[in-house]
């Protein structure tokens, strides 16, 4: 889905086929962060971080339903799903999940995608989400 990112420093949409999360990697110890940090959070390190594009696939650590309205909406369209996905870099990312709740299971492979947040004129503002990784599941 094309669109404009809800925050340009969080999501890279340059590749229309595959959005990327913008994270940081410590130049000294190699720790990864999301979102980007300017300096490592480890007290014994504190070295500068460099901007990186994080992996687009990971493993679902946990998930739940959220019955509250999304982003300032007054009404609940429908309950939505939120989960935490562990990327190969060791970073745990929290975000919206999309897909059939009956088929979502902890431990399954997930892929980064986008989800519409609001319409601004001609533009659809999008955030990131995770969807079941059909390709990963098949291989």
Interacting residues with Zn ion (CB under 5 A): 26, 28-29, 31, 40, 42, 45, 47
Instruction: State which residue, 34 or 128, has the beta carbon closest to Zn ion.
Output: 34
Q: Which residues of 42-63 are buried (b: 16+ CB within 10 A; e: fewer)?
A: eeeeeeebeebebbbbbbbeeb
Residue pair 120/68 in contact by the 8 Å Cβ criterion: no
Q: 48 φ, ψ to 5°? A: -65, 150
Token digits of residue 80 = 């939505």
126 forms beta bridges with 5, 116
CB 35, min distance to Zn ion, A: 16
Instruction: State which residue, 11 or 26, has the beta carbon closest to Zn ion.
Output: 26
CB 134, min distance to Zn ion, A: 36
Instruction: State which residue, 89 or 133, has the beta carbon closest to Zn ion.
Output: 89
CB 39, min distance to Zn ion, A: 8
Instruction: State which residue, 26 or 96, has the beta carbon closest to Zn ion.
Output: 26
CB 38, min distance to Zn ion, A: 12
């Amino acid at each position: 889905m094309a669109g404009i990112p809800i925050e340009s420093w969080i999501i890279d949409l340059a590749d229309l086929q595959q959005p990327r999360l913008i994270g940081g990697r410590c130049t000294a110890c190699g720790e990864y962060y999301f979102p980007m940090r300017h300096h490592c959070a480890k007290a014994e390190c504190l070295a500068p971080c460099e901007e990186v594009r994080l992996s687009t696939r990971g493993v679902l650590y946990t998930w739940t339903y959220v019955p509250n309205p999304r982003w300032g909406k007054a009404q609940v369209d429908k309950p939505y799903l939120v989960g935490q996905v562990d990327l190969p870099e060791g970073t745990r990312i929290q975000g919206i999940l999309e897909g059939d709740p009956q088929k979502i299971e902890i431990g399954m492979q997930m892929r980064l995608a986008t989800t519409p947040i609001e319409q601004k004129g001609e533009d659809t503002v999008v955030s990131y989400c995770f969807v079941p990784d059909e390709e990963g599941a098949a291989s």
